[in-house]
Amino acid sequence: MSAPIDPGISDVDAAEKGQQQAAILASALPFLRRYAGDTIVVKYGGHAMGVDHLSNAFGRDIALLKLVGINPIVVHGGGPQINAMLKQLNIQSTFIDGLRVTDQSMIDVIEMVLSGSVNKQVANLINRAGALAVGISGKDGSLLQARKLVRTVKDPDSGQERELNLGFVGEPTKIDPRVLYSLLGSGLIPVIAPVGVGEHGETYNINADTAAGAIAGSVNASRLLMLTDVAGVLDENGVLIPELTANEARRRIADGSISGGMIPKVETCLAAVRAGAKAAVILDGRVPHACLLELFTRAGSGTLIKAE
């Protein structure tokens, strides 16, 4: 009998461990069959990006999905990275309902951070894990077409509607998915920065959740996974809500128990399932291998928002 490779592990232990690993792999079979050939859009959040062991696990998850015959498309954020760059440049920014008010002095910086450093870092994470990812901006191939987002609020005193000026914040008007199909058809993984292009070639800053939802709808993704820095949507006592209907989501946004950055996330999930995605999940990006846990185990996690 040959000696075990690791002197600390006996042959019996190694065989047992091998059996366990094989059983785990085999238990993924029904899930692999369910998603084979499907397109899955993953929103990779700014906060979930900052930690090395989590981002390496994310890169490996996406590479693994591709290598088992699923088509992942990654849309990334970069809010914290934009904050850091604006701070270095002494530019203040404010948020309204989770959206960064974006003036002329910021839009070039935001485009540089999102389409430049962050986009390439995310693609590189996946490439290092053994699959081939290509980083593009939403402007490439006119993928993410947009117009200025108009938000109105009711003035509490007069009761009249008034327009908020969010500057160069865009909302998607049309997705041209040809560049995505071209990359997917060549066995590549698209990694998209949430920067949109207007009718006259102008650049728009699009919330990454919103961009991911619009893209998921346009390619009829079977799942939209939104990785973030909390367990999912929490109720007023901080307890995870495992499943959310459209009505309950709207009620919770109106009563303020869903606020800030969670608003675009939930609105996006609702819009994505309305537009054709079969389900959307808000997931805890602080958990290593959150994507694999969600797709390949019965445990699942986070908050599921389903088509009604």
Picked from ligand X2W, ligand ADP, none, the partner binding residue 82 (CB below 5 to 8 A depending on kind) is ligand X2W
Picked from ligand ADP, ligand X2W, none, the partner binding residue 228 (CB below 5 to 8 A depending on kind) is ligand ADP
Q: Is 307 exposed, middle or buried (0-12, 13-18, 19+ CB in 10 A)?
A: middle
**Is there binding between residue 41 and ligand ADP (CB under 6 A)?**
no
The C-alpha atoms of residue 63 and residue 68 are separated, in whole angstroms, by: 9
The per-residue b/e assignment along 207-240, b for 16 or more CB within 10 angstroms, e otherwise, is bbbbbbbbbbbbbebbbbbbbbebbbbbeeeeee
The C-alpha atoms of residue 265 and residue 246 are separated, in whole angstroms, by: 13
Between the alpha carbon of residue 198 and those of residues 95, 207, 219, the distances in Å are 22, 15, 21
Tokens in use for 84?
């850091």
Picked from ligand ADP, ligand X2W, none, the partner binding residue 245 (CB below 5 to 8 A depending on kind) is none
Only one of the segments 13-21, 180-188, 202-210, 287-295 lies at the binding site for ligand X2W (rule: CB under 6 A); that segment is 202-210
Tell me the residue number closest to ligand ADP, measured at CB. 261
Non-local CB neighbours of 141 within 8 Å, separated by 6+ positions? 176, 178, 179, 182
Does the annotation place 205 within a ligand binding site? yes
- Lay out the sheet containing 144-148: strands in order across: 170-175, 144-148, 195-197, 203-205
If you search the block for the tokens 């908020």, which residue do you land on? 164
Site string for ligand X2W, 162-181 (x = CB under 6 A): -------x------------
Non-local CB neighbours of 109 within 8 Å, separated by 6+ positions? 82, 85, 86, 89, 91
**Is there binding between residue 227 and ligand X2W (CB under 6 A)?**
no
The answer to whether the CB of 62 falls within 8 A of the CB of 72 is yes
Only one of the segments 12-20, 73-81, 153-161, 297-305 lies at the binding site for ligand X2W (rule: CB under 6 A); that segment is 73-81
DSSP class of residue 20 equals: H
Residue among 127, 140, 134 at smallest CA distance from 188: 134
Picked from ligand X2W, ligand ADP, none, the partner binding residue 207 (CB below 5 to 8 A depending on kind) is ligand X2W
**Is there binding between residue 230 and ligand ADP (CB under 6 A)?**
yes
Site string for ligand X2W, 235-264 (x = CB under 6 A): --------------------------x---
Site string for ligand X2W, 82-111 (x = CB under 6 A): x----------------xx---------x-
Site string for ligand ADP, 70-89 (x = CB under 6 A): -------x-x----------
Task: Indicate the residue among 57 and 99 with the shorter CB distance to ligand X2W.
Answer: 99
Q: Which of residues 86-105 bind ligand ADP (CB under 6 A)?
A: 98
Does the annotation place 50 within a ligand binding site? no
* Interface positions with ligand X2W (CB under 6 A): 45-46, 77-79, 82, 99-100, 110, 169, 194, 205, 207-208, 261
